[in-house]
A and B are shown apart, each in its own frame.
Chain A
Amino acid sequence: MPCAPPGSLLPNTLFSLVPTLPQPTSSRTLNAAQRRANRDPAWARWLLTGVALVFLAFFLVLPLLSVFVQAFAKGGAFFLSAVTEPDAMASIRLTLLTVAIAVPSNVVFGVAAAWAITKFRFPGKSLLTTLIDLPFAVSPVISGLIYVLVFGAQGWFGPWLIEHNIRIIFAVPGIILATTFVTFPFVARELIPLMQAQGTDEEYSAVTLGASGWQTFWRVTLPNIRWGLLYGVILCNARAMGEFGAVSVVSGHIRGETNTMPLHVEILYNEYNIVGAFAVASLLAILAIATLVLKSVVEWRQTGNA
Chain B
Amino acid sequence: MATPRTSRTILPGFGLSLGFTLAYLGLIVLIPLSAAFLRTAGMSWHDFVEAVDSPRVVAAYRLTFGASLAAGLVNMVFGLVVAWVLVRYSFPGKKIIDALVDLPFALPTAVAGIALTSLYAPNGWVGRWLAPLGFKVAFTWTGVFVALTFIGLPFVVRTLQPVLQELEPEIEEAASTLGANRLQTVIRIILPELAPSLLTGFALAFARALGEYGSVVFISGNMPMKTEIVPLLIITKLEQYDYRGATAIAVVMLVASFVLLLLINLLQKWSRRYQAI
Contact = CB atoms under 8 A, between A and B. Distances in A.
Nearest to B233: A141
Contacts of A140: 109, 211-214, 231
B208 to A, nearest CB: 7
A102 B82 CA distance: 35
Range of interface residues on B (Cβ < 8 Å): 35 or more
Contact of A204 (B10, B35, B110): B10
Interface string A9-34: 00111111111001001001010011
A241 B22 CA distance: 26
Interface in B97-134: 97, 99-112, 114-116, 118-119, 124-126
B3 interface: yes
Main secondary structure of the interface of B (DSSP, over half): helix
Contact of B81 (A28, A51, A241): A51
Contact of A278 (B33, B114, B210, B235): B114
20 contacts: A11-B272, A19-B154, A19-B158, A25-B165, A25-B166, A52-B82, A56-B101, A63-B112, A64-B103, A121-B6, A139-B250, A141-B235, A142-B250, A154-B241, A184-B29, A200-B11, A213-B11, A265-B110, A281-B110, A287-B106
Interface stretch (A77-85, A159-167, A222-230, A288-296): A288-296
Range of interface residues on A (Cβ < 8 Å): 35 or more
Nearest to A151: B32
B204 A14 contact: yes
Interface string A135-156: 1011111100111111010111
A178 to B, nearest CB: 9
A292 B29 contact: no
A45 B81 contact: no
B159 A284 contact: no
Main secondary structure of the interface of A (DSSP, over half): helix
Given A6-B275, A149-B247, A292 B102 contact: yes
User: Most A CB atoms within 10 A — which of B25, B32, B232, B247?
Assistant: B32
A141 B169 contact: no
The 10 A-B residue pairs with the shortest CB-CB distance in the complex, in nearest-first order:
A139-B211, A242-B108, A213-B12, A245-B213, A244-B214, A141-B231, A63-B115, A37-B176, A288-B106, A116-B17
Given A149-B247, A278-B114, A288-B106, A34 B173 contact: yes
